[in-house]
C-alpha cells in the first residue's frame, strides 16, 4: 500500500520556539523518555499530520485523541423537508479514492501514534459506522489493546431526512492502550464522582455541538463542519489523563481538544493541515482562562491516599483502650485494646473473637472479609454512631492537608 500524496501547507507561526517552521523535524529522537520541555507544547503545528508526527520523538505522549477523516462518501446534496441544504461534511480532507487509500492513511497515522505514546499511554479515536470498524481492525493489527468502545449517544441527533434508514444517533470512540501489558491511566474515582457515585458506563449521553459552543469565523459563518462538543473531550481527558500530561490531537480542527486540555491543566500538541482552522483554533484556546491550581483538578483516588493504621487512632488519643465500638445497627459490639486489636463475641454462639478491626468485623458477621473502618462505629455525643473511618480521614487531613 502506498501513502496518500498530499502537499503540506506552510508551517504555522506559533509562539513556542519548537513550533516554528520545520520545528517538529528538529526534535531529536531518543530512546529514553524525552524531556517534556523539548516538545512543542500547547502549540498547533501546521501540515500533514503523518509527516509532523514523524518529527516527534518516541514515547513522548501520555495520550492521543484523534478525530480523523471519516471518509463519509456522501452521495450528492442532502436537503431538509423545507428544501434547505444540510451542511454536511463534504470537505476535501474527508475524501479518499477508495477504502485501500483510507486504510493506508489510517495505518500510517496510527503507527506513528503508537510510536509516540509512552508505554502506558493510550489512544482515543472517534468515528462513525463509515470508518470505525476499519480503524478498529487496523489498530488491533498494530498491537493496540482495546480497553473500551464508548457509544456517544447524541441527545439531539440530526434526523434522517430521507426517511430511508434509522436516525444515526451515535458515534463510537475506541479507547485503546499501547499494548496488552500497558497500565493506562484511568481515573475511576473521578468518573464515579461525576456520575453521582455510580460507575461511569460506556454509553455517554451528550448533545452535539450547537448554540454558543459552535465556533464561527469572522464573517459569522460556522467554522468547522465536525466540531466536537467540549463535554465529550472533558470526559475523555478527565477519565484517562493526569494534570500536566501531554495529549496529541493529529486532526485538530477547531481546537476542541486544546481548549479542554487547557481548561483541565493538561498540555496539548495540535496538528492541522488547514491554516484557517489552525488560526481560529489558536484564537479559541487563547480565550480559555488558565486552569485553576492542581488541587481543584485532582481527584483523590482511594488507592493513592496515605495508609493510616488503626493504631494511629489510638496513638492520637482519638480512641482509647477500653472504648466500645458498635456496628451501625447496634447488633455487634467490641472493646478496643491498647495494641489496636478488638475483642468481641459472636452473638449466636458467644464464642470470643480477637484480632484486627477487619478480622473481628468479619468474624462477628460470619463473613470472609470486612472493611473494619466502615463497619465499626464509635458513639459520639448524644449517642450518635459514627464510623471510625471518620477518625482515619481526620488523621489523613492532618498529614496531607484537608480534602477540598
Ligand atoms: C473530523 S475533523 C476534527 C474536528 C475537531 N475534533 C474539532 O472538534 O474541531 C478533522 C480535521 O483534521 C484535518 N485533517 C484531515 N486530514 C489531515 C491530515 N492528513 N493532516 C492534518 N490534518 C488533517 C481537517 O482539516 C479537519 O480539520
Q: What average pLDDT score do residues 313-324 get?
A: 96
Pocket test for ligand 1, best of 125, 272, 277, 280 (most atoms within 8 A of CB): 272
The β-bridge relationship of strands 145-154 and 61-66 is unpaired
User: 271 CB under 6 A from ligand 1?
Assistant: yes
Cell 501514534 locates to 113
Decide if pLDDT at 1 tops 70: no
User: 226 CB under 6 A from ligand 1?
Assistant: yes
Decide if pLDDT at 301 tops 80: no
Pocket test for ligand 1, best of 253, 275, 284 (most atoms within 8 A of CB): 253
- Measured in Å, residue 278 CA sits from the centre of ligand 1 at 10
Go through 303-319 and write b for each residue having 16 or more CB atoms within 10 A of its CB, e for each that does not: eeeeebebebbbeeebb
Residue 123 burial by Cβ neighbours in a 10 Å radius (0-12, 13-18, 19+): buried
Kindly indicate the confidence band of residue 7, based on its pLDDT and cuts at 50, 70 and 90: very low
- Measured in Å, residue 14 CA sits from the centre of ligand 1 at 18
- Measured in Å, residue 253 CA sits from the centre of ligand 1 at 5
pLDDT-above-90 percentage for the chain: 75
Query: What is the Cα–Cα distance from 123 to 247, expressed in whole angstroms?
Result: 9
Position in ligand 1 atom list of the atom nearest CA 277:
27
pLDDT tens per residue, range 150-170? 999 999 898 887 788 899 999
User: 228 CB under 6 A from ligand 1?
Assistant: yes
Of 68-77, 111-120, 326-335, the range with the lowest mean pLDDT is: 68-77
Residue 225 burial by Cβ neighbours in a 10 Å radius (0-12, 13-18, 19+): middle
Pocket test for ligand 1, best of 53, 93, 106 (most atoms within 8 A of CB): 93
Decide if pLDDT at 350 tops 70: yes
Pocket test for ligand 1, best of 130, 223, 251, 275 (most atoms within 8 A of CB): 251
- Measured in Å, residue 128 CA sits from the centre of ligand 1 at 15
User: 267 CB under 6 A from ligand 1?
Assistant: no
Position in ligand 1 atom list of the atom nearest CA 215:
9
Kindly indicate the confidence band of residue 86, based on its pLDDT and cuts at 50, 70 and 90: low
Q: In sequence order, what are the beta bridge partners of 79?
A: 85
pLDDT tens per residue, range 90-112? 788 988 999 999 999 999 999 99
Q: 247: which residues sit within 8 A by CB, 6+ positions away?
A: 61, 62, 63, 64, 65, 237, 241, 257, 261, 266, 267, 268, 269
Decide if pLDDT at 392 tops 50: yes
- Residue located nearest, by CA, to atom 5 of ligand 1: 253
- Measured in Å, residue 255 CA sits from the centre of ligand 1 at 9
Edge-to-edge strand order for the sheet containing 342-345? 352-355, 342-345, 333-336, 324-327, 376-379, 385-387
Compare 23 and 55 and report the one with higher pLDDT: 55
- Measured in Å, residue 305 CA sits from the centre of ligand 1 at 40
Compare 354 and 299 and report the one with higher pLDDT: 354
User: 260 CB under 6 A from ligand 1?
Assistant: no
Q: 264: which residues sit within 8 A by CB, 6+ positions away?
A: 234, 237, 238, 241, 243, 291, 297
Residue 130 burial by Cβ neighbours in a 10 Å radius (0-12, 13-18, 19+): middle
Query: What is the Cα–Cα distance from 390 to 371, expressed in whole angstroms?
Result: 13
Kindly indicate the confidence band of residue 24, based on its pLDDT and cuts at 50, 70 and 90: very low
- Measured in Å, residue 67 CA sits from the centre of ligand 1 at 7
Decide if pLDDT at 73 tops 80: no
Compare 75 and 3 and report the one with higher pLDDT: 75
pTM of the model: 0.75
Contact criterion met (CB below 8 Å) for 132 and 192: no
Q: Which three cell numbers stand for residue 153?
A: 449517544
The residues spanned by each domain of the chain are: 17-302, 305-400
User: 308 CB under 6 A from ligand 1?
Assistant: no
- pLDDT recorded at residue 248: 98
Kindly indicate the confidence band of residue 69, based on its pLDDT and cuts at 50, 70 and 90: very high
Decide if pLDDT at 236 tops 70: yes
Decide if pLDDT at 83 tops 80: no
Contact criterion met (CB below 8 Å) for 27 and 57: yes
Compare 87 and 384 and report the one with higher pLDDT: 384
Q: What average pLDDT score do residues 386-393 get?
A: 95
Position in ligand 1 atom list of the atom nearest CA 281:
9
User: 284 CB under 6 A from ligand 1?
Assistant: no
- pLDDT recorded at residue 76: 66
The closest of 257, 215, 265, 267 to 236, measured between CA atoms, is 257
Determine whether domain 17-302 maps to CATH 3.30.230.10: no
User: Average per-residue pLDDT in the chain?
Assistant: 89
Edge-to-edge strand order for the sheet containing 170-177? 43-46, 267-272, 246-249, 61-66, 117-127, 170-177, 145-154, 203-206
Q: What average pLDDT score do residues 212-237 get?
A: 96
Kindly indicate the confidence band of residue 116, based on its pLDDT and cuts at 50, 70 and 90: very high
- pLDDT recorded at residue 20: 35
Kindly indicate the confidence band of residue 75, based on its pLDDT and cuts at 50, 70 and 90: low
Query: What is the Cα–Cα distance from 327 to 372, expressed in whole angstroms?
Result: 10
- pLDDT recorded at residue 400: 59
Amino acid at each position: 500500500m502506498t501513502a496518500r500524496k498530499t502537499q503540506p501547507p506552510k508551517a504555522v507561526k506559533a509562539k513556542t520556539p519548537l513550533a516554528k517552521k520545520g520545528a517538529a523535524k528538529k526534535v531529536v529522537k531518543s530512546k529514553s523518555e524525552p524531556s517534556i520541555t523539548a516538545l512543542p507544547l500547547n502549540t498547533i503545528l501546521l501540515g500533514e499530520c503523518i509527516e509532523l508526527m514523524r518529527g516527534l520523538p518516541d514515547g513522548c505522549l501520555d495520550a492521543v485523541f484523534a478525530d480523523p477523516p471519516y471518509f463519509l462518501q456522501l452521495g450528492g446534496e442532502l436537503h431538509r423537508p423545507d428544501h434547505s441544504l444540510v451542511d454536511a461534511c463534504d470537505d476535501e480532507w474527508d475524501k479518499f479514492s477508495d477504502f485501500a487509500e483510507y486504510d493506508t492513511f489510517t495505518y500510517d497515522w496510527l503507527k506513528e501514534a503508537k510510536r509516540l505514546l509512552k508505554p502506558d499511554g493510550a489512544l482515543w479515536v472517534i468515528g462513525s459506522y463509515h470508518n470505525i470498524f476499519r480503524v478498529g481492525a487496523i489498530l488491533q493489527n498494530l498491537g493496540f489493546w482495546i480497553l473500551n468502545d464508548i457509544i456517544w449517544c447524541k441527545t439531539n441527533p440530526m434526523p434522517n431526512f430521507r426517511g430511508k434508514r434509522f436516525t444515526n444517533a451515535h458515534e463510537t470512540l475506541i479507547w485503546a492502550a499501547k499494548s496488552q501489558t500497558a497500565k493506562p491511566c484511568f481515573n475511576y474515582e473521578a468518573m464515579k464522582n461525576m456520575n453521582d457515585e455510580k460507575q461511569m458506563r460506556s454509553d455517554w449521553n451528550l448533545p452535539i455541538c450547537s448554540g454558543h459552543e459552535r465556533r464561527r469565523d469572522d464573517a459569522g459563518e460556522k467554522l468547522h463542519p465536525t466540531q466536537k462538543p467540549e463535554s465529550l473531550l472533558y470526559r475523555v481527558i478527565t477519565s484517562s489523563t493526569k494534570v500536566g500530561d501531554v495529549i496529541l490531537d493529529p486532526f485538530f480542527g477547531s481546537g476542541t481538544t486544546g481548549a479542554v486540555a487547557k481548561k483541565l491543566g493538561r498540555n496539548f500538541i495540535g496538528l492541522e493541515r488547514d491554516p484557517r482552522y489552525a488560526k481560529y483554533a489558536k484564537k479559541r484556546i487563547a480565550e480559555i482562562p488558565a486552569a485553576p491550581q492542581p488541587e481543584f483538578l485532582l481527584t483523590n483516588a482511594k488507592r493513592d491516599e496515605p495508609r493510616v493504621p488503626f493504631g494511629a487512632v489510638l496513638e492520637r488519643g482519638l480512641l482509647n483502650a477500653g472504648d466500645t465500638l458498635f456496628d451501625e445497627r447496634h447488633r455487634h459490639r467490641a472493646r478496643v485494646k491498647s495494641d489496636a486489636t478488638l475483642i468481641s463475641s459472636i452473638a449466636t454462639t458467644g464464642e470470643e473473637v480477637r484480632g484486627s478491626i477487619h478480622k473481628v468485623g468479619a468474624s462477628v458477621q460470619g463473613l470472609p472479609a470486612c472493611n473494619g473502618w466502615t463497619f465499626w462505629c464509635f458513639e459520639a455525643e448524644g449517642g450518635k454512631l459514627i464510623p471510625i473511618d471518620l477518625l482515619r480521614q481526620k488523621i489523613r487531613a492532618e498529614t496531607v492537608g484537608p480534602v477540598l
